[in-house]
Amino acid sequence: MEQDILRLAREVALAERILVITGAGLSADSGLPTYRGLGGLYNGLTPEGMPIERVLSGPMLREKPALCWKYLAELGKACLNAQPNAGHFAIAELQRRKPECWVLTQNIDGYHRLAGCVAERLIEIHGELAPLFCQSCGREDRELEAHLQRPLPPLCPQCGGILRPPVVLFEEMLPEKAIADLHQQLEQGFDLLLLVGTTASFPYIREPVQQTRWRGGFTAEINPAFTDLSQSVVLHLPGRALDVLPKLMSHIFRH
């Protein structure tokens, strides 16, 4: 795999406009649950006999907020108890060295920000877990950790309404600004696209891959297993982002 890392390093060094797309596999190296795929917590049904997509959905938050928050709390506690890993820091370093490097992430843990990614070039397509806000009066609440120690769902101290995170639940629309930012950057095109730890092939991931290849750009994937997109990229590097990205960074600016 060393030769593949060197090949990717040369391509990254030559590229100006870069898009890094990250998924749950990147944060799994920090100890966060992926819910699906290798090591997923809920490849079957939850103890309530429902798919995780049902309990972590917008309709469930409205109908049975305590049940939805049971699993939101699992995610919240996991995020608060872990930290960015070497993969996150390597991506942040790449952004600092490449002023036209963008990061599109499916992750809601906020680790890219904590690792030092440039906020103006970070697209959090599924939102993030904090700060909470009241669905009734709109009041912002930054006490996520404290609320997770109390009975669920968390309530607004101002009006008693149910709080929620600014995250995209299943069956909810993606944020308009994130989609607009992505489309604006896709119009300019990318020289190189790198998939990191994602097994998904949603349109907002598949389209950038296809468009980058169509325009002659280089595409690569870092993932321990083959994914639905592995056949669509030029180079697949089997391994964890935690291990591969720091090695990649150590080679990039030698070429």
**Domains (ranges, CATH) in the chain?**
2-32+84-128+172-252 (3.40.50.1220)
Spatial separation of the C-alpha atoms in residues 180 and 178, rounded to whole Å: 5
CB-count exposure of residue 151 (10 Å: 0-12, 13-18, 19+): exposed
The low-confidence residues of the chain, meaning pLDDT below 70, are 33-44, 253-255
Q: Are 140 and 161 in contact, with CB atoms under 8 Å apart? A: no
Closest CA to 193 of 115, 105, 107, 102: 102
Identify the pLDDT of residue 81. Answer: 85
Q: Cα separation of 61 and 59, whole Å?
A: 5
218, 19 in Cβ contact below 8 A? Answer: no
| Residues with catalytic roles | 126
Q: Which residues contact 82 (CB under 8 A, 6 or more apart)?
A: 27, 30, 31, 32, 109
Quote the pLDDT of residue 40. 47
Best CA proximity match to 41, nearest among 32, 33, 29: 33
Helix axes 2-14 and 241-252, enclosed angle (nearest 10)? 60
Residue type for position 238:
P
Whether the Cβ atoms of residue 205 and residue 233 lie closer than 8 Å to each other: no
pTM: 0.91
- Give the pLDDT of residue 165: 96
Q: How far apart are CA 54 and CA 61, in angstroms?
A: 10
Predicted local confidence at residue 36, as pLDDT:
52
pLDDT of residue 255: 45
| pLDDT at residue number 37 | 44
CA distance 6 to 31: 28
pLDDT at position 35: 55
